[in-house]
Amino acid sequence: MSQATLHASTSRSLGSRDSRRLRLAGSIPAVVYGVGVSPLAVAVDAKAFRGAVSGAQGLNSLITLDADGQTFTVMAREIQRHPVRGTVAHIDFQVVDPNKPVVTEIPLHVVGDAVEVRHADWEVDQQLFSLEIRTRPDQIPTHLDVDISALKAGSSIRVADLELPAGVEAVADVALTVVTTHAGRAAKAGGADVTA
């Protein structure tokens, strides 16, 4: 896994006025925290941060943060956005050990064609769009495909049914429904009664 390097300044002042000034200058106020690390207030260049998380891993990217000579391996764990503009207003960087598991979320992508569901005039309904997992930072998948090809009318796919890559485990409740089916208009009109 490639690892972007991001430079951070530790000389930022605290307070909302100073944070606004930083944002106007193209920087984002942030904090670095983690086990054995005292919280450290920093500021990073907004454009450089976008570049660091623009790869396939997105916010799950590993970043080498150079904070005025102090180097940390971090992940962007919480991002606050401006309520109107949607721009990043603050970042929480968590210091991680690349060799130890972390808990994070990955997107779920539905793939395949549920032919039997379509032929029964039923519909596929995706209910879970991301999955909380535990794995080492270098093993975090960019996403997980959920194949619905074998789905039948009245059946569903739960977290327990997902095929996870080696070294990846689900943190979410295994009984959670990822994809389900329900009768479409035509099936309802015809009085179809298939239950899960």
Q: In Å, what is the CA distance from 193 to each residue of 33, 46, 121, 123, 196?
A: 54, 54, 12, 14, 10
Domain endpoint, select from 96, 123, 139:
96
Does a structural domain hold residue 56?
yes
Q: Which residues of the chain have pLDDT under 50?
A: 192, 194-196
- Specify the DSSP element, H or E, that contains 118: helix 115-119
Does a structural domain hold residue 195?
no
pLDDT for 90 equals 87
What does the alpha-carbon distance between residue 27 and residue 48 come to, in Å, rounded to a whole number?
9
Q: In Å, what is the CA distance from 59 to each residue of 4, 149, 185?
A: 12, 30, 40
CATH number of 148's domain: 2.170.120.20
- Tell me the per-residue pLDDT of 78-118, one tens digit each, with 9 for 90 and over: 888 877 777 788 899 999 998 999 999 999 999 999 999 99
CB distance 146 to 185 below 8 Å: no
What does the alpha-carbon distance between residue 63 and residue 98 come to, in Å, rounded to a whole number?
11
| Judgement on whether residues 92 and 137 belong to the same structural domain of the protein | no
Structural domain harbouring 53? 4-96
| Judgement on whether residues 53 and 18 belong to the same structural domain of the protein | yes
- The domain total for the chain is 2
What does the alpha-carbon distance between residue 103 and residue 191 come to, in Å, rounded to a whole number?
45
pLDDT for 119 equals 92
